[in-house]
Structure 1
Amino acid sequence: MKKLPIGISTLSSILNDDCVYVDKTALIHQLVNSGTYYFLSRPRRFGKSLLVDTLKELFEGNEPLFQGLAIHPLWDWTKKHPVIHITFNDGVHTDRAQLDTFIVGQLKKNAERLGIKLQEGLISQQFVQLIEDSVQAYSQPAVVLIDEYDKPILDQINNPARAAELRDSLKNLYSVLKGRDKLLNFVLLTGVSKFSQVSLFSGLNNLNDITLDARYSALCGYTQRELEHNFREHLAGADMPRVREWYNGYNWLGESVYNPFDILLFIDKGQQFRSYWFETATPSFLLKLLKSGRYYLPELERFKVHETQLGSFDVDKMTAEVLLFQTGYLTIHKTLQMGNQLGFELGYPNIEVKLSLNTHLLSELTPTSSHAAQVGFKIYQALADGELEALHHILNAFFASIPYQWYTNNALDQYEGYYASVFYSHMVACGAQTIAEDSTHFGRIDLTVIVENKVFIFEFKVLNSEQSDGSAMAQIKAKHYADKYRDGRELYLVGIEFSKQTRNIVGFEWEKI
């Protein structure tokens, strides 16, 4: 019998007719033996569904599939638990009536598989009956696995009223799990986002959220060791440091991991560096939220939040930073002690996300008539050639191409960070290496940009005047920002001043050191 792909995400992925296995069952055994009720949040395409499928086969006692894996000698294969497996992975959920019909179908499918005949009634009543009758039929406590528990809500996230309606429908289902300890052996809910206990899991206060548990940080995804060991033949000849920069970096307080989807497509496409994961779903709602919230985009490289901010959110109380973290566009870089509270410094996990997110942000921050993509090519070439006057001309022409009406319709004339944010996104999207808020002994450089053997130190100022005052370049010199990069590379100091009145650059000073 062919082995079940035990492990995470793409264990079973076929690469040139070879099956690649990454054994995560030691972690699964630890999880099962440490508690009963669990919640796990991970971004899309990280292997949550495969984790759920693995647990299903394990609790059903399908021993041949686990031969040779870490958990095999540790598991009691004589016990066959009834497993109730509910998944919201398929389809788009449009309204409460459609969702209720879908849930009933899931319950009936489980009942048929377990040999139980469900009575007509409310969804909550049918779920209770399914649990009770399966326990009686199997003489073992039941296992409940709910995959992508939040997808119906996220399908309608840009419609808060509809999302709240679907949330209430799901609340009726999940409330059944409360107070049934004697009937349940193991419960796991997986999803992308963590909704508040009050709004969705009311009363289910024994649900152990392992999203930020260092012990299970690598439960989904590939660690560096797993990548190098299990995919060694398929990654022969690959530039491994670059692979790590492009696809590693997702962290939940433990060991960082790669997104499995990226790795498999990277191998399948002949080791081409592309944004495989990001391209599967452009986060249009998030882009609009970032724009409407007037976020200063360079801060996303080092965004500080309290622990409580990342814990959960609700459809009527959403912030971009929480959604960016929960959906995988930001990850934890550092743990901080913020007074009496624990905090985190968030940032992009890798080059793929940083490059792709900023490329798409440009489409939200600029009108289509500005031709941002073509501007990016010109910017990179100007930097590579050290042609700062050409860069000045390109940027002037770009900001001048944005019509007055577009500013007023978007209230961008009141958003001081807009100019620097657009400049920053251009630098990232053009392919340059960027370091925002670059720390030195004397302060922080607004933006350091590195292209080939050239280093550019940028300082931005937004002025209420139509005339330059030289303050940007003056700060670079006063703070001795250049000292950090006196290492033999070509070094350029660039002070840029934007005018809120003219909506363009009024000061552009540069020097080559």
Structure 2
Amino acid sequence: MATDQRLRLPIGIQTFSEIREGGYYYVDKTPIIERLVHQNKYYFLSRPRRFGKSLLLDTLRCLFEGRRSLFEGLYIHDRWDWETVHPVIRLSFGSGVMRSRDELDERIRHQLRKHRERRTLFTHLRNHDLAGLENHLKSLYAGLPHDWYRNNPIAQYEGHYASVFYSHFAALGGQVTVEDSSHHGKVDMAVDFAGHIYLFEFKVVEQLPEGKALEQIKARGYADKYRATGKPIHLIGVEFSRERRQIVAFDVETIRA
């Protein structure tokens, strides 16, 4: 994460990735974190406010989710097993006051539902189960509120559908690159996760699939830049129907290492 630009002080920033990618100073606390991980099992952090508890927890989340690039140049980078990725459940109650037990229970249930969605996606990717991944993503689009589309043309735009993909994949902690450049253009999204490469191209069609998304990945050689990694590469062409507001094609081809 080295940089030649003048670094800024990370005042009030509680997100590890923002500090590491945004040009801020970071004092390497990963030697302490390594000891925390290996010495005991349960911790209660009781330090005063504004002493970095939230940043510490977010750093631990990034570490267990295997976000290796964020730790380049830090003590723990060469001392961590990056091939082993763990799902992380984080419950937060900092967004408002809960005035009853019912409100508390509902807040917990809501967060657990979100974690379950992430866990399901994580499991499909971890097992390289692309059929399961397709079904999971279809269920996400089926659950989008009808009111989002009322008097709103977002169903016509590729970016609407792609944003759902990006937000879920980014939440898993894998390396996600949008508009990933190569010698013949840009693939819409590239994901490096658990030893596999996933290349996604998105297209919006009227109703029926046309096969153009996968065709573009192959014709423009988007996979070429990844062949030297030795990792399996999955080419995935996803087409969305503006009429049905749903995935109508999820075409996959795999290039084995």
Q: Relative to 1, partners in 2 of residues 1:486 and 1:467: Cα closer, same or farther, differing over 3 Å?
A: same
| Residue 503 (structure 1) shift | 0.9
Q: What secondary structure sits across from 1:402 in the alignment? A: coil
Query: Are the aligned partners of 1:384 and 1:454 in contact in 2 as well (CA < 8 Å)?
Result: no
Name 2:189's counterpart in structure 1: 447
What residue ranges of structure 1 are gaps of 5+ in the alignment?
1-213, 223-243, 252-256, 280-367
**Which of 112, 122, 133 pairs up with 1:391?**
133
Name 2:209's counterpart in structure 1: 468
Inter-partner Cα distance in structure 2 for 1:387 and 1:264: 36
Query: Are the aligned partners of 2:211 and 2:249 in contact in 1 as well (CA < 8 Å)?
Result: yes
Name 1:144's counterpart in structure 2: none
Cα RMSD after superposing both structures: 3.4
| Residue 264 (structure 1) shift | 6.2
Inter-partner Cα distance in structure 2 for 1:461 and 1:500: 10
Name 1:315's counterpart in structure 2: none
Q: Relative to 1, partners in 2 of residues 1:384 and 1:269: Cα closer, same or farther, differing over 3 Å?
A: closer
| Residue 379 (structure 1) shift | 1.4
Q: TM-score, normalised by structure 2?
A: 0.59
Inter-partner Cα distance in structure 1 for 2:244 and 2:169: 22
| 1:87-136 Cα shifts (integer Å, max 9, x gaps) | xxxxxxxxxxxxxxxxxxxxxxxxxxxxxxxxxxxxxxxxxxxxxxxxxx
Inter-partner Cα distance in structure 1 for 2:180 and 2:163: 15
Q: Relative to 1, partners in 2 of residues 1:406 and 1:221: Cα closer, same or farther, differing over 3 Å?
A: closer
Q: TM-score, normalised by structure 1?
A: 0.31
Name 1:218's counterpart in structure 2: 7
**Which of 224, 231, 239 pairs up with 1:483?**
224
Query: Are the aligned partners of 1:496 and 1:505 in contact in 2 as well (CA < 8 Å)?
Result: yes
Matching residue's letter, 1:377: R
Name 1:276's counterpart in structure 2: 55
| Residue 423 (structure 1) shift | 0.6
Inter-partner Cα distance in structure 2 for 1:492 and 1:269: 34
Name 2:21's counterpart in structure 1: 249
**Which of 431, 438, 443 pairs up with 2:173?**
431
Matching residue's letter, 2:200: F
Q: What secondary structure sits across from 2:55 in the alignment? A: coil
What residue ranges of structure 2 are gaps of 5+ in the alignment?
38-52, 59-109
| Residue 409 (structure 1) shift | 7.5
Q: Relative to 1, partners in 2 of residues 1:409 and 1:278: Cα closer, same or farther, differing over 3 Å?
A: farther
| 1:313-342 Cα shifts (integer Å, max 9, x gaps) | xxxxxxxxxxxxxxxxxxxxxxxxxxxxxx
| Residue 278 (structure 1) shift | 9.9
| Residue 220 (structure 1) shift | 3.1
| 1:56-92 Cα shifts (integer Å, max 9, x gaps) | xxxxxxxxxxxxxxxxxxxxxxxxxxxxxxxxxxxxx
Q: Is 1:381 aligned with 2:119?
A: no
Aligned residue runs from structure 1 range 104-253, under 5 A: 217-218=6-7, 220=9, 247-251=19-23
4+ residue segments displaced more than 6 Å: none
Computing the radius of gyration from Cα coordinates, the structure with the larger value is 1
Q: What secondary structure sits across from 2:198 in the alignment? A: strand
Q: What secondary structure sits across from 1:481 in the alignment? A: coil
